Amino acid sequence: MWIREDAPLAAPNATVLSLTIHSPGLPHSLTVELTASSVTVSGSEGGIVFTQQLQEINLTEARVWRVRGEEEVTIPLSRDVLHSFSFFSSQSSMPKMSLVPSDSPAVTLAWEKGRIVKAEEGRENYTEALPHDINHRVSLQCNRQKENVTCYLMPEEEARKLAAFVSQTFPSGFRVSGLPGSEFFVQYRHETYSQSQGVEATLQGGRRVTAGYVLSIVVIGLVFVGIIATVVVASVRHKPRKKRKMQLTFEDAAPQEYVPFLSGPEATVIDEAEEDAIQEEPTLWEAVKSGDVDAVEALLDEGFHPDDVEEGREITPILDAHFLGFKDVLDLMLKYKGERATLPTEDLIKSIVNELETRMKEVFVAAECGMYERERGVHQLLDTHMLPATITDHMGRSLIHYITSTTVMDGRPPWAPKDVKRFLNEHKYFINAVDHWGRTALHQVAEHPRTAEMDVIWEGKEWGVSEAWLELTKILLGYGCDPRIPDHRGILPHQLATHAGNHQMAQLLEDMSEKLGPLQEPTIEQHEELVTACRMGDTSRIRKLLRLNVPVLPMYARADPLREAIRHHQRDVLLLLLSAGAPLSSRHGSCITPLEAAHTQQGLPACFPAIMRKVTAERLEHEASRVSPDVEELKGLREGMRTYTQQILDVGIKARWILNSRCREERGKEARRLLAQAADLGLSLTCQLLSLEDVFLNPLPGEDSPVAMAVSRNHIDTQLTLCRDLGLSPFFSPGTESLHLKLQHELWLNERKRLEELYSLGDSDLANADWEYMRGMINTRKNKSSVGNTATLQQPSDSVLFFTAKQGLIVLLDIILRCVRDLDINRVVQTYSGSTALHVASMSNHIQTVEYLLHRGAEANRLARGNLDAAHVAALSGHRKCLEYLLECKEAGENDKNRKALHLMNEYEKMLSKCNIPILSHEDALSIMAEREEQSKAYLKLNTMAKSLDISAAENLIQVVKDRACAKRMYLAPPFASVTSEGVDVFWVLDGEPNLRLVKARITPVLLITQPDVEFQPKTLLEHHLDMNADVGLHLANIGKEWLYCTHALEKEVFGNLTLHKRSVWLTCRLIQNLLQSHWWSPDFSDQLNSAPWHTLAVGVETLPERGLRSLFLEELCESSEWEKRHVFHRVLSVFRRAAQRDMIGKWATRKHVGCFSFKSHWCANVPDSFLGILRYLEDLERLEALPKGPKVKFAS
């Protein structure tokens, strides 16, 4: 065996000798350890010849694996404490590794400043791949800590931790992969405690004697030193101490109220055997903490109970499941207890709120005192309290903010550099977390003066105060804290540093901002990806998207990520979004706020309503602290905010803003005044909560515009809130130049996306030229010079103005009015109804469009056909807020017409109160909307509507159909006419009867075709089942871009000659579908601005189109013979079962589509998932009907 001439050798009399073996098959050397009794070294040409007389070769076990590309290689691990790995290759590599099993994500190794580091997202510019031809050695040390096994990955040459892997048991495998196209080798060595001690066992006679002598001398020396030390300590104890300047610890400097949190519990001495027994004994709360449903089920089967408080715990396992947000575990425990999943009780929610406050306060106190690794420090408390590192305090500050807070008396940073790096390496945090005012940790570190001329001891070294804070800033920048992010007023960190006199820090932040370049504009697709990641609970992807400057809830959002995290019970995602500054009370994209979603979903863990109550109350309380108590005009705003805060903690979603006046008109004035004050102060959450009231908030002529006040104070977040959540017009002035550029861009993206969505639906009669005109107009914003060039822009068609007003495309409307000369805003845009753009906007309940049109000179008194002005149209459409806004804007001399509009509104309300379909209450609507699946929504809505109609059994359902079978001057009514996929719907008002009636007629264009002579099912139905021999016509209609067979003549014959019981079946089927639909004659409850006055929400569930239901009924009519009274309900159930089929395990599943009755092979309609909810509801009624009836008992008088 040959050794290089410069190879280091141990002394000739050494017992253990390290050798380096060079193999032609490996790109690097392999180091082994040999035990020898003698070593002889002799010279030779080209090297040194090594000869030995081996008594025993003690080779530490070493194996080598080859890793190619992304292919994962699993290295089996022994159950030892210490494992060593070497990575070597002839090319640069970035090994990616994880443990099997482990709950922790994979770790990628990288190279930075000559050492191994963990690759982090966003720090790619600072790291590179591991250099080639270098042996990179790391070690994995595993220790059991309480209920978990924690393995730390560390470089062997340094005592620092690269990553931590947490699992329930000791790892059985080490999984390694690389980058595409790379190749490297992994050498594995494992050492145990016995091996490290085994060297001494090889010592021979004289060697052992020498060790004994040495050991005796060392022991005697230690005893002598101990005696001297005791004497010295005893003498010093009685001497008076000299006064000297002492360095205060964090415990000494902490306020008195923090002392209970800093002092940990007394340690309990447990012997080794007892400790092993405790660790190996399974407990239910450990299984709950891991979220392992199978383990929880196994322990429940063994006799553990969810309500038993286990040893060492203060709350029950079922409360742990509520606290952690594990819905699957919670459902399993409730099933074990024989209970159904219901809404959390008030007592349960409040107990979780208190538990959250206690645990979070303890973590933040430790963070404020700079305690991380020590006992009762941040690291230990986060694990003990089962909290993520993204928690926030009452001011919205995260743990990243606490790292940069000034709490130490001498002015130095409270956290040592090594603790900062450990926290940033070991926990899942969001580095750009913001507080309630949108400020990151860089804002906080920059806004306080750091110019004190004094030296401090920080991490064992002497630093100047400004130098220490500058070093901390560099650490944060190195981990990806972005200096380009402005706060809610557009202020950057380097601007705050300049204002505070921290010039070195300001220069550092400004240089880094210039190096990074401007922030990239996020895309709509990235926000959709963010929403999907929130539903899936992918926190790593969410953090990556948030660091790419993707906003949580922009104007163009179609779903609220915060609300989706709640609906999909993702607690850690919820806390992560809150640390990123997610809006708390927005109804954007839905009629339900995140707070309402957390309180209305059946079976949701109580941590979700508890977290939402806590953060909403804290943010509102923090906003109230910004309202000066010395200003008399702001007294009402401040008191209202304080009262609302307490209501949220006490009753949750039942909290309401207390307005002094009972008159709607006066209440509206008071609410608008409070809104203007809140906008002026930048109180975004207060503005959102005011929007939940049942009065309109759009400013009247002569009143202060909240948007204008927010712009004047540069409250960017409040501007966005007012336009996105309150629907206020952003065009309070002749142009959009005063609005913040970010808001202008989001408004434009939102309308461009809506325009494309409407075009893809194809549910409009617009010509291609009209679509091209609107696309061209909306794209003029990209080139502002084209906006001013109006010579080449033509007048829009009536269809374009009608469509723009109907859809509320206010940005497009503003561009058209600014670009086209001499455009008459009061011209008729719908000839047959005589409607102007203002009529159309009022009919569609777009109050911000109505506000904008009135501002641009639209006449509120212009009449359409039937002598209807904009207020009448709003009244007939059920839009109370829009009606009240129009009436307030009219002149005082129009009282007669105002009374007529109010009379129409009252008649409309009477019509709704007497309609066949009851309106859901607000609470019921929220509960239905909180369900995620269509079949669950359908089932819950049918049960809710059945209670309103007193339907408790099958015979009640049939009776309701019989009792509610429905109706002079007639004229067109809003929405007058609308194009649908089946034709044109025309709307009428029947006047002259005791009550108002709204009627809709559908006109479907058809083509008459020749009917087939054979196997024509409609003809068979007439001849064999209805004893008719009529010649039925067959037509073709274009429905939904498909040509379908239509048998209108047949249906007229069939449905006009149904017997009593057959007619009952058909009407019952229609009633069930009607109970699920949103109806054309009801108010537009889907609009958040219109739902509040009616105290309900739109909860439409997708159902089968009526043509599909008719096809199913006609099939049942052909194939069934039992139509007596006792079979009516079974025929109804059979009709709906025709749209479903049994799957492999016997459960109902919907068919893909329903075929046409005329020809079953032809498509008629798709079957929605809600049909499974209908079947579930009807089968419940069937089971109730099958229950044995009790005997009738007569009592003697």
Per-domain residue ranges of the chain: 2-59, 62-191, 199-223, 289-516, 523-616, 625-729, 743-913, 1012-1036+1045-1186
Q: Where are the alpha helices (DSSP H) in 682-740?
A: 684-690, 706-712, 716-724
The stretch 17-29 carries a mean pLDDT of 45
Q: 614 near 623, Cβ under 8 Å? A: no
Q: 1154 forms bridges with which residues in the sheet?
A: 1165
Q: 396 near 622, Cβ under 8 Å? A: yes
CATH number of 523-616: 1.25.40.20
Could you give the CA distance from residue 40 to residue 17 in angstroms, rounded to a whole number?
12
Q: What pLDDT is recorded for position 208? A: 45
Choice among 193-207, 559-573, 1092-1106 with the minimum mean pLDDT? 193-207
Considering all CA atoms of the chain, what is the largest pairwise distance in Å, rounded to the nearest integer? 129
CATH number of 743-913: 1.25.40.20
Buried b (16+ CB within 10 A) or exposed e, 929-939: bbbeebbbbbb
Half-sphere exposure of 707 (CA within 13 A, CB side): 23
Residue 994 has pLDDT above 70, yes or no: no
Buried b (16+ CB within 10 A) or exposed e, 482-503: bbbbbbbeebbbbbbbbebebe
Q: Which CATH number fits domain 62-191: 2.60.40, 1.25.40, 2.60.120, 3.40.50?
A: 2.60.120
Nearest to 597 by CA among 663, 526, 652: 652
Residue 1197 has pLDDT above 70, yes or no: no
Nearest to 844 by CA among 707, 986, 978, 972: 978
Q: What pLDDT is recorded for position 968? A: 44
**pLDDT tens readout for residues 67-114:** 888 888 888 887 666 888 888 888 888 898 888 877 678 888 888 877
**pLDDT tens readout for residues 665-703:** 888 899 999 999 999 999 999 999 998 888 889 998 888
Select the more confidently predicted residue: 225 or 502.
Answer: 502
Q: What pLDDT is recorded for position 507? A: 93
Could you give the CA distance from residue 1046 to residue 1146 in angstroms, rounded to a whole number?
35
Contacts of 288 (CB under 8 A, 6+ apart): 296, 317, 320, 321, 324, 326, 329
Q: What pLDDT is recorded for position 1048? A: 67
Q: What pLDDT is recorded for position 867? A: 80
Could you give the CA distance from residue 890 to residue 898 in angstroms, rounded to a whole number?
9
H/E element, 35: strand 30-35
pTM, two decimals, is: 0.68
Q: What pLDDT is recorded for position 378? A: 93
The stretch 492-501 carries a mean pLDDT of 92
Could you give the CA distance from residue 290 to residue 295 in angstroms, rounded to a whole number?
9
* CATH 1.25.40 given to domain 625-729: yes
- The pLDDT mean for the chain works out to 77
Q: What pLDDT is recorded for position 24? A: 42
| Residue whose token pair is 């010295």 | 232
| Residues of the chain by 3-state class (helix, strand, coil), percent to 5 | 45, 15, 40
Could you give the CA distance from residue 871 to residue 863 in angstroms, rounded to a whole number?
10
Calculate the alpha carbon distances from 604 to 317, 565, 586, 929, 935 in Å.
16, 12, 20, 14, 18
Half-sphere exposure of 917 (CA within 13 A, CB side): 17
Q: 1087 near 1093, Cβ under 8 Å? A: no
Contacts of 347 (CB under 8 A, 6+ apart): none
Q: What pLDDT is recorded for position 1124? A: 85
**pLDDT tens readout for residues 740-752:** 888 888 888 899 9
**pLDDT tens readout for residues 1119-1164:** 888 888 888 888 888 888 888 888 777 778 887 777 776 666 666 7
Q: Any idea which architecture 289-516 has in CATH?
A: Alpha Horseshoe (1.25)
Structure tokens, 837: 């753009």
Query: What is the Cα 789 distance to its own chain's centre?
Result: 44
**pLDDT tens readout for residues 906-951:** 776 766 666 656 666 667 776 777 676 777 777 777 777 777 777 7
Could you give the CA distance from residue 610 to residue 619 in angstroms, rounded to a whole number?
14
Is 289-516 the same fold as 62-191? no
Structure tokens, 252: 């000494």
